[in-house]
Structure 1
Amino acid sequence: MPLTEYPAGRAFPGVIGRTFDVSEPAWPEPRRAADGAPNVLFVILDDTGFGQLGCYGSPIETPNLDRLADGGLRYANMHTTALCSPSRSCVLTGRNHHSNHMAGITEISTGFPGYDGYIPFENGFLPEMLLGHGYNTYAVGKWHLTPSDQTSAAGPYDRWPLGRGFERYYGFMGGDTHQYYPELTFDNHRVEPPRTPEEGYHLTEDLTDRAIAFIADAKQVAPDKPFFLYFATGAMHAPHHVPREWADRYAGVFDDGWDAYRERVFARQKEIGLLPADAQLSRHDPDVQRWEDCSADERRLYARMMEVFAGFLSHTDHHIGRLLDFLESIGELDDTLVMVLSDNGASAEGGPTGSVNENKFFNYVPESLEQNLAAIDELGGPKHFNHYPWGWTWAGNTPYRRWKRETYRGGISDPFIVHWPGGFGARGEIRHQYAHAIDMVPTVLDALGLEPPDRIRGVTQAPLEGVSFAHTFDAADAPTRHVTQYFEMLGHRSIYHDGWRAVCPWPGPSFSEAGRPFGQPITAEELTALDATGWELYHVTEDPTETHDVAAENRATLIELIAQWYVEAGKYDVLPVDGRGQERLAEERPTIARPRTRYVFHPGTQEVSSVAAPRIVNRAHTITVLATIPDDGAEGVLVSQGGVDGGFTLYLSDGRLHYVYNYVADQEFHIVSEGTVPAGRHALSFEFEPTGEARPLEGKGTPGTASLFVDGEPIGSGELPVTIPIAMGLASGIAVGADAGSPVTALYRTPYAFTGTIERVVYDLSGDGVVDHAAEIRMALARQ
């Protein structure tokens, strides 16, 4: 007898008698996808410029992405928001970044509707939409879409990947992570990497393994069930980490510098057809040193930094190829709608001279050529958090102006590849229709023949703000349906409408021309002046590289576009315009826990992220560890915070108490107790007492005196002449009983687990000096 099934919500159609023999069963209908429903794969690259993929004219080898382009489509007119979290929110919701409350990255959220970082539940995610149509949904890699204070073990978890429609997740929750010592989350819990760097571990390989495993797990049980995979590598964001052999493949390739790179890539882009034959290469950026003016040491260092980046990109492409090969091996690649996008243009966070520690940028700490040269043979390895200089950023966005964080085309025009042999016939063609990241969700739904849901989990859904470009798949001459698009990022504004772009750069067309650095606040008076005289106008249909400002001869068009920008700003919660950059990192925000000055951490604690950790920068604080040292002694880390890019560690070695402060990998301060710590139960403490003022815009946190104590008795002290002013460390959080993640110092080998017993760690930020150690011990005894 065939099964009788009925849709959810319908009345039971069977018969219920007094006994089974006079009854007829019926079953709720399982949620199944439509016959022939394709898989969907989003590959989201990080900080990859328009001119950095091989198929977009670059000398960097990306054979696997190239084969997607050769078997599908390259879009020459795709746009993002100029920053990662905002763009990713657009990719997954089909709404603008301010509509998603994601004006910037989550760590710089502010208390305004377009800026607070809480993506509304009425802006449903694509996986939430596809779940209702029988799809498996997986996210692998970078997330960076949860309010930063909600990424700890305290949750809440409703804005984590599993709370927004993904059934499985493996990756890292923040904006970047150490590629050899990543902070990993599996579903809703933290996990450690499966191997060490010495054993050959690298995050991109691990993410690819997990993505393949997720798909294999389901396909071997339900081969006809489609999946949506959001695959977001940590590459090409800093740190630029890659095994040396990959970087060495490019030895000498970039020795002729970034100016030559631009010329070479620009010519190739014309040959490919990405640009019209009469296009002009945008000007030499005033903030970028000419290659011939660099010293021999600078050229050697900068070329190596680019070799490392190129190796990183090729290495990433290799692992994307592994994922594609797996799909092909199980017969799924042709039936998978693949979209590959970078979240913004190439990144300028390495500064004008490049960096061996990106955290210097966030803390306004200047680079040292001498220090960077000393690290040249280790770049790409686990010791550094390296990033290339502005020259390669600018070159990576060839042919466009500027870079990530700015809304000239260098920041917002990105490589975009679509591959779907089972869905359209075009092969190796280029599309010039205007598109934006908000168009990806509508396009997927259109291609799948689905309507966006009216409600998700009982929440009425806001309309999609993007439009489908599926009509362009097999029609090179199809009209553009996306006619108007605003942009705003950190006060830098622009708007596109029907072939024209108006741009209002902040603080100016370049830092040198403005006479002001990145991240300056905009006052109401300055905004008025900018609207009167700061807008530029480009007819990008004829001048795609924004080379000729035609504002003076097209005043009426410019005024219309400025007015339209404000219309869009009102519609999508763009105001208030806020030009601040790093300053926003220190913005006071609500937290899950009420404000307090005493924090208690327990044994086994690992990776309490900086946003959930006590904020100890620039303030007096005491850290006390209640620990028992066995008769034969103990060694290892008591508590650590941060990693190779900056932080501190408190540990025992050779019977002595040690404190090491890593000032953004620029200087390291080491304080050792004068005597040994005896066996038994003790309160081991560190106290920091400020002795001066912080000067964060100079890259200097407050200086101070660092003191060590055992049971309240001083046993050592030293001076910290400079401390980290803004961000303690990007790579690792608080860990108790070990140095989890990347090491704060090279004085020991991680995790250097403590061999005694720790009861708890207490941070005290009251400013009252060393805590009452006797009271702490009495409290501990009372809780046994």
Structure 2
Amino acid sequence: MAIKEYAQGQAFNGVQGRTYDVSEPSWPSPNRAKEGAPNVLFIVLDDTGYGHLGCYGSPIATPNIDALAADGLLYTNMHTTALCSPSRTCFITGRNHHSNGMACITEGATGFPGSNGIIPFENGFISEILLAQGYNTYAIGKWHLTPAEQTSAAGPYDRWPLGRGFERYYGFLGGDTHQYYPELVRDNSQTEQEKSPEEGYHLTVDLVEKAKGMIADAKQVAPNKPFFMYFCTGAQHAPHHVPAEWADKYKGKFDGGWDVYRRETFARQKKLGVIPEHAELSRHDPDVQDWDALSDDERRLYARMMEVFAGFLEHTDHYIGELVQFLKDIGEYDNTLIMLVSDNGSSPEGGPTGSVNENKFFNNVPDDLAQNLAAIEDIGGPKYFNHFPWGWTHAGNTPFRRWKRETYRGGVSDPFLISWPKGIKAKGGIRTQFAHGIDMVPTVLDCLGIEPPTTIRGVTQSPIQGVSLKSSFEDAEAEALHKTQYFEMFGTRALYHDGWRAVCPWPGPSFTEAEHAFGDGIDKDMLNTLDAEAWELYDLTKDPTETTDVADKEKARLISMIGMWYAEAGKYNVLPIDSRTTERLATERPQIAEGRKRYVYYPGTQTVPSSASPRLLNTAHSVSVHVTIPEDGAEGAMFTIGGNDGGFCIYMKDGKLVYGYNYVADERYKFVSDSDVPAGDHVLSIEFEPTGKADIAKGKGTPATLKLLVDGEEVGNGEMPKTIPIQFGLAAGITIGSDNGSPVMLEDEYRPPFAFTGTIHKALVDVTGEPLEDKEEMIKAYLAAAMARQ
């Protein structure tokens, strides 16, 4: 006999008699998806340019991604926002990035409706929609959608993945991470990787294994229950990390340089039909060096950096292939709607010369050719946080101009493909309709026959702003439904409208041609000047690569499009225009806890992210750790902030107290106590006292005197001629009792996690600038700081 059911929220339709024998049961219906509903898989690549994938003409081998395109549709006119978090909000909500409060990355929020870093609940995620439709929902890999100051263990957790409709999560919350030593989160708490790099660990491999496991966990119980998976690699973002054998496949293949790459890729793009035959290759960018004018050492270094990137991408493709093969093996591939996309164009954050530490870029520290050459054999391994030079960035965005962060097409035109064997009859087709990241959600809903909900968990929903691409699936000539789209990022602006594109670059068409520097602010007078003089206009039907500015010939059209840009800006909360960079990163934002001068930390707790940590740069501070040293001594890290890209660690080694400081991997300072620390109960401290002014523009934080103290008595000191000026590390956080992840100091000093073998009671960070003179005073300070937080 079939079980009787009734819809949840409806009246009981069974019979309730006085006794069981005269009653008939009925059950609230489980939340089931429609019979035959497809799985949905979003694969989001990071910093992957238009000219990076094989199916877009690249020389880099991406056979598994190419196979998806051959089994589905390749879109040649997809657009994003030019930056990661803003684009990702578009992919997952169907609304524009300013509508989502994400004008910039969350760390660059400025406190205006379009730039507060807080995605409103009225902009529902596709995960929330599909969860209510009976789907399992999984997020894997990069997140970067939670306000940075809300990523600590104090929460709140309502904007973490599990708070936005995902049932399970495994990945990293920030913008990038070390591929061999990632900062991992499982669901709502931090976790550690399950093996070391020496044992074969790499983040991409781990993410694919976890993705397969999540799918299998549910499918073995409920084979007919569909899933939505948001799978986001850390690749191809820096650090470009891959085992050497993958990079070595490309030895010698980039010795011709970036202009050869561009010309050859451009020719393949025409042959593949990815760009029209009449298109012209955009100019050699004035900011990019002439390959032939470089020294032999520079060419050797830069070619190797690109070999590593290419190996990294092929490695990523291989493991995406493993995920797709898994879907085939369990019989789910044919009915899985797959969308693969990149979040922006290729990244210029390696600067003109590339870097073995991307954190130099964020600290204004210039790169050093000699240092980079010395690292050449280890680039791609765990030791460095490497990024290629922007000549390869320019090449990776072939055939377009410029790159990530800017609104020429090189920054915003990205790879995009759709595969769904059961739902799309056309195979291997190219689609040229204009599309934007906000179109992904409405396309999925259209394919699934789901109307956008009017409410989610009691919150009235805003209208979805994208359009469905489904009409183009079987008709290559279908009308492009997305007619108008604004762009804005760091003050660079653009507008697409019906085949035309207006662009207002900032600080100029290139840095070389600009009168201002990237990051300079646009004030009201400058904005008026830009609107009067700086807008360019391109007819994309004739000039898809933006090579010929027709602003002078089409003044009326341009004026109309500038006005249209402002209309869109008003509609979607784009204003105020803000071209600042590092200043935005330094903006004060609301914190969960009020600011204080003393912070107490405990062993056995999660890493405290930098966004919720005291600021210890360019200011006097002390760190004290209350420990018990056993009779046979102790060693290990007691207090750590940062990693191999910058930070410091207080540790015990060979019986002595040690302070190790990593200045963006350029220099490391080490201070060791004059004598051994005896067994027993002690407070071990360091005091950092600035001795001069910072020169932040030149990448130098304050010089400082460093003192080591045991129970308030000085046991060592030294001078640091320069320190980190802006941020310790790209994923810096405070860890008590170990140096997890990539180590602050070199591996000949210690190897992670270098857990402390004595007992840590608590640690105190003091930013009052006042010295703590004895052990008793330190203990009192601990208690006072702890009580103040009750």
What range is the shorter-chain TM-score in? Answer: over 0.9
Q: What's the CA shift for 1:732? A: 4.1
- In the alignment, the residues of structure 2 paired with residue 633 and residue 129 of structure 1 have an alpha-carbon distance, to the nearest angstrom, of 57
Secondary structure (helix, strand or coil) at the match of 1:77 reads strand
Q: What's the CA shift for 1:780? A: 7.0
Q: What's the CA shift for 1:22? A: 1.1
Instruction: Give the conservation status (yes or no) of the 8 Å contact 1:141–1:171.
Output: yes
- In the alignment, the residues of structure 2 paired with residue 158 and residue 570 of structure 1 have an alpha-carbon distance, to the nearest angstrom, of 29
1:702 is matched with: 702
Q: CA RMSD in A?
A: 1.3
2:727 is matched with: 727
Instruction: Give the conservation status (yes or no) of the 8 Å contact 1:603–1:760.
Output: yes
Secondary structure (helix, strand or coil) at the match of 1:553 reads coil
Q: Which residues of 2 match residues 70-89 of structure 1 at below 5 A?
A: 70-89=70-89
1:245 is matched with: 245
**Residue type of the partner of 1:759?**
H
Q: Which residues of 2 match residues 335-350 of structure 1 at below 5 A?
A: 335-350=335-350
Aligned CA distance change for structure 1 residues 257 and 781 (closer, same or farther; 3 Å): closer
Secondary structure (helix, strand or coil) at the match of 2:612 reads coil
2:477 is matched with: 477
Q: What's the CA shift for 1:631? A: 1.7
1:411 is matched with: 411
Secondary structure (helix, strand or coil) at the match of 1:137 reads strand
> Is 1:757 aligned with 2:759?
yes
Q: Which residues of 2 match residues 609-624 of structure 1 at below 5 A?
A: 609-624=609-624
Aligned CA distance change for structure 1 residues 724 and 781 (closer, same or farther; 3 Å): closer
Number of equivalenced pairs: 784
Q: What's the CA shift for 1:583? A: 2.0
Q: What's the CA shift for 1:691? A: 1.2
Secondary structure (helix, strand or coil) at the match of 1:669 reads strand
1:98 is matched with: 98
**Residue type of the partner of 1:524?**
K
Instruction: Give the conservation status (yes or no) of the 8 Å contact 2:684–2:709.
Output: yes
2:231 is matched with: 231
Q: Which residues of 2 match residues 673-688 of structure 1 at below 5 A?
A: 673-688=673-688
1:632 is matched with: 632
Q: Which residues of 2 match residues 140-151 of structure 1 at below 5 A?
A: 140-151=140-151
Q: What's the CA shift for 1:605? A: 3.2
Instruction: Give the conservation status (yes or no) of the 8 Å contact 2:713–2:774.
Output: no
**Residue type of the partner of 1:158?**
D
Instruction: Give the conservation status (yes or no) of the 8 Å contact 1:336–1:420.
Output: yes
- In the alignment, the residues of structure 2 paired with residue 760 and residue 517 of structure 1 have an alpha-carbon distance, to the nearest angstrom, of 45
5+ residue gaps, structure 1: none
- In the alignment, the residues of structure 2 paired with residue 39 and residue 779 of structure 1 have an alpha-carbon distance, to the nearest angstrom, of 56
1:538 is matched with: 538
Secondary structure (helix, strand or coil) at the match of 1:552 reads coil
- In the alignment, the residues of structure 2 paired with residue 778 and residue 357 of structure 1 have an alpha-carbon distance, to the nearest angstrom, of 41
Q: What's the CA shift for 1:731? A: 3.7
- In the alignment, the residues of structure 1 paired with residue 484 and residue 418 of structure 2 have an alpha-carbon distance, to the nearest angstrom, of 22
Instruction: Give the conservation status (yes or no) of the 8 Å contact 1:687–1:770.
Output: no
Q: Which residues of 2 match residues 185-196 of structure 1 at below 5 A?
A: 185-196=185-196
Q: What's the CA shift for 1:771? A: 6.3
2:66 is matched with: 66
Q: What's the CA shift for 1:781? A: 9.5
**Residue type of the partner of 1:693?**
K
> Is 1:516 aligned with 2:516?
yes
**Residue type of the partner of 1:395?**
A
1:153 is matched with: 153
Instruction: Give the conservation status (yes or no) of the 8 Å contact 1:732–1:741.
Output: no
Secondary structure (helix, strand or coil) at the match of 1:651 reads strand
1:775 is matched with: 777
- In the alignment, the residues of structure 2 paired with residue 563 and residue 73 of structure 1 have an alpha-carbon distance, to the nearest angstrom, of 35
1:128 is matched with: 128
> Is 1:5 aligned with 2:5?
yes
1:454 is matched with: 454
**Residue type of the partner of 1:106?**
T
Aligned CA distance change for structure 1 residues 58 and 736 (closer, same or farther; 3 Å): same
- In the alignment, the residues of structure 2 paired with residue 290 and residue 447 of structure 1 have an alpha-carbon distance, to the nearest angstrom, of 48
Deviation by residue 1:535-582 (Cα, 9 ceiling, x = unmatched) = 111111210000000001110011011101100100000001000112
- In the alignment, the residues of structure 2 paired with residue 48 and residue 294 of structure 1 have an alpha-carbon distance, to the nearest angstrom, of 26
Q: What's the CA shift for 1:521? A: 1.4
5+ residue gaps, structure 2: none
Instruction: Give the conservation status (yes or no) of the 8 Å contact 2:507–2:518.
Output: yes
- In the alignment, the residues of structure 1 paired with residue 781 and residue 568 of structure 2 have an alpha-carbon distance, to the nearest angstrom, of 58
**Residue type of the partner of 1:84?**
C
Deviation by residue 1:482-509 (Cα, 9 ceiling, x = unmatched) = 0000000011110000011110101111
Q: What's the CA shift for 1:133? A: 1.0
Q: What's the CA shift for 1:770? A: 3.1
Give the TM-score normalised by the residue count of structure 2: 0.98
Secondary structure (helix, strand or coil) at the match of 2:414 reads coil
- In the alignment, the residues of structure 1 paired with residue 217 and residue 627 of structure 2 have an alpha-carbon distance, to the nearest angstrom, of 44
Instruction: Give the conservation status (yes or no) of the 8 Å contact 2:636–2:757.
Output: yes
Instruction: Give the conservation status (yes or no) of the 8 Å contact 1:732–1:742.
Output: no
1:316 is matched with: 316
Deviation by residue 1:268-320 (Cα, 9 ceiling, x = unmatched) = 00001111111000001000001111110000000000000000000000000
Q: Which residues of 2 match residues 202-601 of structure 1 at below 5 A?
A: 202-601=202-601
Instruction: Give the conservation status (yes or no) of the 8 Å contact 1:604–1:735.
Output: no
- In the alignment, the residues of structure 1 paired with residue 174 and residue 783 of structure 2 have an alpha-carbon distance, to the nearest angstrom, of 38
- In the alignment, the residues of structure 2 paired with residue 73 and residue 346 of structure 1 have an alpha-carbon distance, to the nearest angstrom, of 22
- In the alignment, the residues of structure 2 paired with residue 586 and residue 390 of structure 1 have an alpha-carbon distance, to the nearest angstrom, of 26
- In the alignment, the residues of structure 2 paired with residue 597 and residue 779 of structure 1 have an alpha-carbon distance, to the nearest angstrom, of 11
Instruction: Give the conservation status (yes or no) of the 8 Å contact 2:135–2:226.
Output: yes
Deviation by residue 1:714-746 (Cα, 9 ceiling, x = unmatched) = 111111111111111114421111101100001
- In the alignment, the residues of structure 2 paired with residue 780 and residue 438 of structure 1 have an alpha-carbon distance, to the nearest angstrom, of 50
- In the alignment, the residues of structure 1 paired with residue 64 and residue 781 of structure 2 have an alpha-carbon distance, to the nearest angstrom, of 60
Secondary structure (helix, strand or coil) at the match of 2:742 reads coil
Instruction: Give the conservation status (yes or no) of the 8 Å contact 2:772–2:778.
Output: no
1:164 is matched with: 164
Deviation by residue 1:583-633 (Cα, 9 ceiling, x = unmatched) = 221111111111111111101234221111111111111100011111221
Deviation by residue 1:411-439 (Cα, 9 ceiling, x = unmatched) = 00000011011001111110000000000
**Residue type of the partner of 1:115?**
S
Secondary structure (helix, strand or coil) at the match of 2:689 reads strand
Secondary structure (helix, strand or coil) at the match of 1:277 reads coil
Q: Which residues of 2 match residues 107-118 of structure 1 at below 5 A?
A: 107-118=107-118
Q: What's the CA shift for 1:518? A: 2.0
**Residue type of the partner of 2:752?**
T
- In the alignment, the residues of structure 1 paired with residue 775 and residue 333 of structure 2 have an alpha-carbon distance, to the nearest angstrom, of 63
Instruction: Give the conservation status (yes or no) of the 8 Å contact 1:639–1:735.
Output: yes
Instruction: Give the conservation status (yes or no) of the 8 Å contact 2:691–2:703.
Output: yes
Instruction: Give the conservation status (yes or no) of the 8 Å contact 1:606–1:740.
Output: no
Q: What's the CA shift for 1:778? A: 5.4
**Residue type of the partner of 1:765?**
V
Deviation by residue 1:748-767 (Cα, 9 ceiling, x = unmatched) = 11111111111001000112
Deviation by residue 1:240-274 (Cα, 9 ceiling, x = unmatched) = 00000000000000000000000000000000111
Q: What's the CA shift for 1:340? A: 0.3
Secondary structure (helix, strand or coil) at the match of 1:68 reads helix
Give the TM-score normalised by the residue count of structure 1: 0.99
Q: What's the CA shift for 1:515? A: 4.0
Aligned CA distance change for structure 1 residues 679 and 268 (closer, same or farther; 3 Å): same
- In the alignment, the residues of structure 2 paired with residue 240 and residue 609 of structure 1 have an alpha-carbon distance, to the nearest angstrom, of 23
1:644 is matched with: 644
Instruction: Give the conservation status (yes or no) of the 8 Å contact 1:402–1:409.
Output: yes
- In the alignment, the residues of structure 2 paired with residue 583 and residue 669 of structure 1 have an alpha-carbon distance, to the nearest angstrom, of 28
> Is 1:717 aligned with 2:721?
no
Q: What's the CA shift for 1:775? A: 2.6
- In the alignment, the residues of structure 2 paired with residue 743 and residue 778 of structure 1 have an alpha-carbon distance, to the nearest angstrom, of 32
Instruction: Give the conservation status (yes or no) of the 8 Å contact 2:353–2:367.
Output: yes
**Residue type of the partner of 2:763?**
V
Secondary structure (helix, strand or coil) at the match of 1:158 reads coil
- In the alignment, the residues of structure 1 paired with residue 610 and residue 760 of structure 2 have an alpha-carbon distance, to the nearest angstrom, of 22
2:175 is matched with: 175
